[in-house]
C-alpha cells in the first residue's frame, strides 16, 4: 500500500522545531507585552488572507479551499513554504523519463460521448454519481495493489463520461485548520457520501533511491505496481510543491481510502494516488488517511490520532 511521509530522524526534527520556535518567539508579543504562549499565537488576518489566496490561485478542487481563523503561527510554516501544484512535477533530471512515461495509455473502444459503465473495457469501479461503488470499496480494503483505469485522451468519450472522476478535481468543500496536536489538518465543510473523491496527491516525482535519502515528511510511495521489489519505483514528494492533500493527517481508523489510479500514463511503475471517503462523513469532520503501519515505528513519533 502507498505509505506517505517517511519520518525525519529525531535529530533533524529537533533542528526543525527549534528553528520554528525561534521565529515565533519574536512574533508572539501581545500589545501589552505580556508573554503569549507561542504555540497558541494565531497568524495575523492579513497573512491568513494572503495564504488563502495562494491556496486558491491554482487548485484542482472545484470549490474554494477555506483557511480557518484558528491557524496558529507554529503550524503555518507548512503553508508558507508550500507551492500549490495540481500535477505531479517531473524535475529536470527525470525529464528523459517523461516521453517514456507519457507514451502508453489504456483506452477503451466505446464509441460516443460517454461510456456505459457496464459495457466499457475499463473495469467498472464508479457509479453514475461519480462515487466508488461498494464492491470496489470492499475489494480495496483487502487488495492494496488494485489500480483503477479511468478513461483518457485515447478514448472517444468526453468529460461527461462516468469513468472520469479523479481527473476532474474534487467537488467537496474543505477547510484547513490547526488541530489540537497534529499541526494542520483538513476537514470537510459539507456532508460527504461514502465513495466520494476527495483529492489526488501531487508533488515532485522522485526515484525510490532519491526518496530513501530524503528527510521529507511529505513523501508518498507509488508502490501499488511494485509487487515485491521497490526497484525502479517512484515517490511523490510534497515537501514544497503539493496541494491540500499533503495536509491530511493519519488516523488508525481512517475515514479515507487510498486508491491507485491511472489515466494518461500506463508506465508499469507509475500511478497516481487518490483519496476517497470510506464511509459517509459529516460536515466538520477531519479527513484522515493511514500512513501505513511502519510510519510511527520508524519515526519514533507517537500517534496522536483520536482513535488511539
Ligand atoms: C503529511 S504531514 C500532515 C500535515 C501536517 N499536520 C502539517 O501541519 O503539515 C505529516 C505530519 O503531520 C503530523 N501528524 C499527522 N498525523 C499524525 C498523527 N496521527 N499523530 C501525530 N502526528 C501526526 C506529524 O508531524 C507528521 O510528520
Ligand atoms: Zn469513457
Ligand atoms: Zn469506455
Ligand atoms: Zn475509456
| 45-291 topology per CATH | Beta-clip-like (2.170.270)
Read off φ and ψ for residue 222, nearest 5 degrees. -90, 80
Q: What is the structure's pLDDT at 39?
A: 63
Q: What is the structure's pLDDT at 213?
A: 85
Sign, CA dihedral 169-105-242-246, equals positive
Cell of 217: 515528511
β-pair partners for 178: 184
Q: What is the structure's pLDDT at 229?
A: 60
> Of all atoms in ligand 1, which is nearest to the CA of residue 252?
19
Pair 147, 261: CB distance under 8 Å = yes
Pair 105, 152: CB distance under 8 Å = yes
> Of all atoms in ligand 1, which is nearest to the CA of residue 5?
1
> Of all atoms in ligand 1, which is nearest to the CA of residue 251?
19
Cell 478513461 found at: 151
* Most informative mutation of 183, 240, 290, 296 for ligand 1 (most atoms within 8 A of CB): 183
Cell of 55: 491556496
Cβ–ligand 1 contact at 182 (below 6 Å) = yes
237 Cα: distance to centroid of ligand 3 (angstroms):
32
Q: What is the structure's pLDDT at 49?
A: 97
Pair 208, 6: CB distance under 8 Å = no
Written as tens digits, the pLDDT of the chain (308 aa) is: 344 444 333 334 444 333 333 332 333 333 445 566 666 799 999 999 999 999 999 898 999 999 999 999 999 999 999 999 999 999 988 877 766 666 667 899 999 899 999 999 999 999 999 999 999 999 998 887 889 999 999 999 999 999 999 999 999 999 999 999 999 999 999 999 999 999 999 999 999 889 888 888 899 988 776 655 666 789 999 999 999 999 999 999 999 999 999 998 877 788 999 999 999 999 999 999 999 878 888 778 899 998 88
Q: What is the structure's pLDDT at 105?
A: 77
Nearest CA to 75 out of 35, 24, 34 is that of 24
Cβ–ligand 1 contact at 305 (below 6 Å) = yes
Cell 517531473 found at: 90
Nearest ligand for residue 262 CA: 4
Long-range contacts of 289-292 (CB under 8 A, 24+ apart): 289/4, 289/248, 289/249, 289/250, 289/251, 289/254, 289/256, 289/258, 290/1, 290/250, 290/251, 290/252, 290/254, 290/258, 291/3, 291/4, 291/5, 291/250, 292/1, 292/2, 292/3, 292/4
Amino acid at each position: 500500500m502507498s505509505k506517505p511521509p517517511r519520518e525525519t530522524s529525531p535529530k533533524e526534527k529537533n533542528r526543525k522545531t527549534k528553528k520554528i520556535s525561534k521565529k515565533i518567539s519574536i512574533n508572539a508579543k501581545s500589545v501589552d507585552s505580556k508573554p503569549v504562549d507561542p504555540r497558541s499565537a494565531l497568524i495575523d488576518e492579513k497573512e491568513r488572507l494572503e495564504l488563502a489566496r495562494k491556496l486558491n490561485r491554482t487548485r484542482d478542487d472545484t470549490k474554494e479551499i477555506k483557511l480557518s481563523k484558528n491557524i496558529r503561527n507554529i503550524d503555518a510554516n507548512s503553508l508558507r513554504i508550500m507551492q500549490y501544484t495540481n500535477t505531479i512535477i517531473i524535475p529536470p533530471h527525470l525529464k528523459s523519463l517523461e516521453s517514456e512515461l507519457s507514451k502508453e495509455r489504456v483506452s477503451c473502444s466505446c464509441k460516443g460521448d460517454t461510456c456505459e459503465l457496464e459495457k466499457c473495457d475499463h473495469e467498472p469501479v464508479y457509479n453514475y454519481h461519480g462515487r466508488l461503488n461498494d464492491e470496489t470499496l470492499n475489494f480495496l480494503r483487502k487488495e492494496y495493489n488494485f489500480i483503477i483505469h479511468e478513461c483518457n485522451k485515447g478514448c472517444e468519450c468526453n468529460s461527461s463520461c462516468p469513468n472520469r472522476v479523479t481527473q476532474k478535481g474534487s467537488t467537496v468543500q474543505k477547510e484547513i485548520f490547526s488541530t489540537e496536536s497534529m499541526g494542520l489538518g483538513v476537514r470537510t465543510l459539507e456532508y460527504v457520501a461514502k465513495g466520494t473523491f476527495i483529492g489526488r496527491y501531487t508533488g515532485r516525482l522522485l526515484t525510490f533511491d532519491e526518496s530513501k535519502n530524503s528527510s521529507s515528511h511529505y513523501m508518498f510511495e507509488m508502490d501499488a505496481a511494485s509487487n515485491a521489489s521497490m526497484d525502479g519505483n517512484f515517490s511523490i514528494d510534497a515537501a514544497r510543491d503539493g496541494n491540500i492533500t499533503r495536509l491530511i493527517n493519519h488516523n488508525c481508523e481512517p475515514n479515507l481510502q487510498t486508491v491507485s489510479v491511472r489515466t494518461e500514463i500506463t508506465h508499469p511503475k507509475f500511478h497516481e494516488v487518490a483519496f476517497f471517503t470510506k464511509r459517509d462523513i459529516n460536515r466538520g469532520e477531519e479527513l484522515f488517511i493511514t500512513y501505513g503501519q511502519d510510519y510511527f515505528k520508524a519515526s519514533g513519533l507517537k500517534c496522536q490520532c483520536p482513535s488511539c
